[in-house]
Amino acid sequence: MSAAPPPLPPPPRDPSLVDPGRSLLIAGPGERARHLRSRFFTLLCTLSAVVVLVPLFSIFLYVLRRGLKGLSLSFFIHLPAPVGELGGGMGNAVLGTLTLIGLACVIGLPVGIGAGIYLAEVGRGKLATAVRFTADVLGGVPSISIGVFVYAFVVVAMKRFSGLAGGLALAVVMIPTVIRTTEELLRLVPPHLREASLGLGVSAWRTSLFIVLRTAAPGIATGVMLAVARISGETAPLLFTAFNNRYWSTEIDRPMASLPVQILTYATSPYQEWQDQAWTGALVLISVIFFASLLARIAASRSLGASR
């Protein structure tokens, strides 16, 4: 009898069939290239963020180094000192800036929020299209052009510079931001809230004011703080409207001091004492804008957390 042939070796088995979890560890075709591309673009985004942050922090640290030595209580409570005398402060400019921002909010916020409610709740017809187009165009107009416009129609009519004209110019600058922010945030309110309110017999205007607006209030506050942060550093409109004042002035129909104009005046002067105070004023102004932006971020995060 002939010997039996040797048994054939078993066919190779797919490792994934033996251990299904093992297949997840094996890179598929092109997987390595996708990982490399992902890491490359992540690194590129990180480098872009660093490129943006380096000049920002460089400017802040330089202003901090030049202006911190003049920061004291007297800077906020004393008037500017005459040329050649040491000391003094920018208390009138700090008070004037706060007054002008308050006037801008009193004038601009009702108009901006009201127009935003109209665009979000109605948003149809030629009037809504015109309002939306005007807000978009006005948001791109240079602030100096707004200052010249207010100068021609307010300052010339009053025959003098005034804090009222400065507040009006800043209000026109902030209105487009408030309008677009209010409109977009009101559109994010869930429609079932409106339907539930209307289904209970509440009128449309009460629904818009007490249900929709109240729900979007934290987000609208974020837009308001961003608008305030923008107008806090505006200089060009105030040169044509509020001008300046070296004394305490709380009368809105008279020229009024402001930090941006005072910084410009001191920074371009040939006196070293004034130039040092200009750096301190720049530090205070940057701090105001920073804290306004920080409050906007905090309000936005709380609004996002509440919506979730």
Residue appearing with tokens 């301190």: 280
Please check whether residue 1 lies inside any domain of the structure: no
Which pTM value belongs to this model?
0.79
Tokens of 287: 């701090």
Please check whether residue 204 lies inside any domain of the structure: yes
Residue 303 is predicted with a pLDDT of 57
Angle CA(77)–CA(82)–CA(84) in degrees, nearest 5? Answer: 120
> What pLDDT, in 10s, does the model give residues 107-160?
999 999 999 999 988 878 888 889 999 998 988 899 999 999 999 999 999 999
Asked if 164 contacts 253 with a C-beta cutoff of 8 angstroms, the reply is yes
Please check whether residue 62 lies inside any domain of the structure: no
Position 146: which residue type? I
Please check whether residue 41 lies inside any domain of the structure: no
Please check whether residue 28 lies inside any domain of the structure: no
Asked if 125 contacts 211 with a C-beta cutoff of 8 angstroms, the reply is no
Please check whether residue 26 lies inside any domain of the structure: no
Number of alpha carbons in the 13 Å side-chain half-sphere of residue 272 = 1
In this structure, what DSSP letter does residue 235 have? -
Q: How many domains does the chain have?
A: 1
CA distance 156 to 151: 6
CATH number assigned to the domain comprising residue 246: 1.10.3720.10
CA distance 252 to 269: 27
Residue 124 is predicted with a pLDDT of 82
Please check whether residue 19 lies inside any domain of the structure: no
Please check whether residue 131 lies inside any domain of the structure: yes
CA distance 205 to 78: 49
Q: Which residue has the higher pLDDT, 94 or 205?
A: 94
- The range of the structural domain enclosing residue 292 comes to 91-307
CA distance 100 to 43: 44
> What pLDDT, in 10s, does the model give residues 164-191?
999 999 999 999 999 989 998 888 888 8
